[in-house]
Amino acid sequence: MSTVSVINIGICGLGTVGQGVWKHIERARPELEARLGAKLVLARASVRDLEKKRDVRLKPAQLTTDPLSIATDPEIQIVCELIGGTGIARKVTLAALKLGKTVISANKALLCAHGPELFATARKHGGQFFFEASVAGGIPIIKALREGLVANRFRRIYGILNGTCNYILTRMEREGLAYPVILKEAKALGYAEADESLDVEGWDTAHKASVLAYLAHGTWVPTSKMVVEGITQLTQADLTFARENGYAIKLLAVIERDLERNVLSVGVYPALLPLTKAIANVNEVYNGISVAGDIVGETTYIGRGAGQDPTASAVIGDIIDAASQLVRGGAVLAPAPATKLALTPPAALRSRHYLRLDVKDQPGVLAKIATCTAKAGVSIASLVQRPSEKPNAASLLLTTHESNEAQIRLTIARLSRHSCVLGKPLLLRIADF
Ligand code: NAP
Ligand code: HSE
């Protein structure tokens, strides 16, 4: 019988997520403690600026600007790292794990950059590391992959993993608003990263894809081995074309394993996804993930992917799991055994594609475009011409038959060099899964 009857929690980072965790533990404390059979104490928190106004009340003695003093406080058993980034957050996490403590993290950037070191440190010193809030906000996808679907091998995991980008794309399409206006709103709502380029340039999704690939396949794929593209080049014309042709444009993470050849690929890019897919209809700040297991078949998870409340829900879920282990004993199931999987070279990935290019509006241009694509071995499936915002120009929206990434890159290079093409063409994949 355990003698642990009080669990002391330290919150490093009392921003959007940290304040949500504090607020919701205060509110739900009686139910949580009754289920746990132990007292939960929100002991201390760290911030950068002691003068900043907060939505939660703490005694001055509970607040510090030194998160390491929380990580190493002998009274604190559970340390929540809710600071973000890979600097002080890494130091705090490692310091607590080296003391055999439990760390709860929402930090996908840290996991992607230093996952092997964090897990090895936890193993070596008997600490525990929980990270449900690092992927897909309030959706318990980590638990689903690690526990519920443990019997499966995964051919394809794909979906929307960034709430900010999905919010931007949804509002752009529905209201015709410009992307910077909506990004400002997403920041005010607490959805975006402190450095919002991580969201809109696809890196946050790539960090999360790396975590999911590790859980599903036991292999850490660095972002340098992925195709990573963001949403900054998309316009209303692309979203409208997609909708008129039965697609939605979504920023997708796609993790595919060829189980026969045992190769893995991880990519992040905006893609045209058929509206018949559940994920294509996941809008606003919601995330959606489709997981195809070889035994279970396809399962789909949808929920709010960013913001204070859904993220706090995931962090508190981890706190209660961790506290329950401290009270009753036990440990989380280890992730999939480390596997050395070859990665599919990005150039070999196959897809249909969508291209948008502005061209000079003059005779013979279409023939020149068709020659460029043909020389790269890419076959055009459809082409429409729309007015361009540029003078004496037309906008061409093309779809292609399937080709590999190398062929389509060659096409783009040839088109970009052609004097009749104005500016760099936009290239999107068509996700005909
Ligand atoms: P945030 O609002 O910017 O909060 C960060 C907190 O850390 C603030 O309290 C800040 O202090 C403190 N801090 C920042 N830099 C520090 C430093 N160098 N030294 C000490 N303290 C420092 O960020 P957030 O949105 O809560 O995100 C926190 C983590 O959760 C990140 O890893 C993020 O990726 C992840 N996450 C966020 C969401 C979301 O929807 N927001 C969802 C899932 C995961 P001050 O308050 O004094 O500035
Ligand atoms: N900035 C992230 C997003 C927060 O928008 O999805 C949740 O991880």
pLDDT one-digit tens code per residue, 343-359: 998 888 999 999 999 99
For the chain, give the percent of residues with pLDDT over 70.
99
CB-ligand 1 contact for 20 (6 Å cutoff): no
Question: For residue range 254-298, what is the model confidence (pLDDT) as tens digits?
Answer: 999 998 999 999 999 999 999 999 999 999 999 999 999 999 999
Closest protein CA for atom 4 of ligand 1: 15
Give the residue among 326, 317, 320 at the shortest CA–CA distance from 34.
320
Residue 11: what pLDDT?
A: 98
Question: For residue range 10-25, what is the model confidence (pLDDT) as tens digits?
Answer: 999 999 999 999 999 9
Catalytic residue among 101, 108, 143, 208: 208
pLDDT band at 60; cut points 50, 70, 90:
very high
* CA 358 distance to own-chain centroid: 32
Residue 207: what pLDDT?
A: 98
pLDDT band at 339; cut points 50, 70, 90:
confident
Provide the token pair at 201: 């340039």
Torsion-angle region of residue 298: left (phi > 0), alpha (psi -120 to 50) or beta?
beta
CB-ligand 2 contact for 306 (6 Å cutoff): yes
Ligand nearest to the CA of 309: 1
Residue 2: what pLDDT?
A: 59
Residue 398: what pLDDT?
A: 97
Question: For residue range 113-135, what is the model confidence (pLDDT) as tens digits?
Answer: 999 999 999 999 999 999 999 99
135/107 Cα distance (integer angstroms):
9
Average predicted confidence (pLDDT) for the chain: 96
Distance 202 CA to ligand 2 centre (A): 11
Question: For residue range 190-241, what is the model confidence (pLDDT) as tens digits?
Answer: 999 999 999 999 999 999 999 999 999 999 999 999 999 999 999 999 999 9
CB-ligand 1 contact for 107 (6 Å cutoff): yes
Active site residue 225: no
Question: For residue range 156-185, what is the model confidence (pLDDT) as tens digits?
Answer: 999 999 999 999 999 999 999 988 999 999
Give the residue among 307, 327, 344, 25 at the shortest CA–CA distance from 192.
307
Give the residue among 54, 62, 47, 49 at the shortest CA–CA distance from 8.
62
37/40 Cα distance (integer angstroms):
10
Domains of the chain: 6-137+308-328 (3.40.50.720), 149-304 (3.30.360.10), 346-430 (3.30.70.260)
- The single-letter code of the amino acid at 230 is G
CA angle 355–243–176, rounded 5-degree value: 95
Provide the token pair at 224: 């340098």
197/160 Cα distance (integer angstroms):
17
Distance 106 CA to ligand 1 centre (A): 9
On the question of pLDDT at 81 being above 90, the answer is yes
Closest protein CA for atom 32 of ligand 1: 84
On the question of pLDDT at 330 being above 90, the answer is no
266/246 Cα distance (integer angstroms):
25
Distance 111 CA to ligand 2 centre (A): 15
CB-ligand 1 contact for 305 (6 Å cutoff): no
Ligand nearest to the CA of 48: 1
Closest protein CA for atom 4 of ligand 2: 306
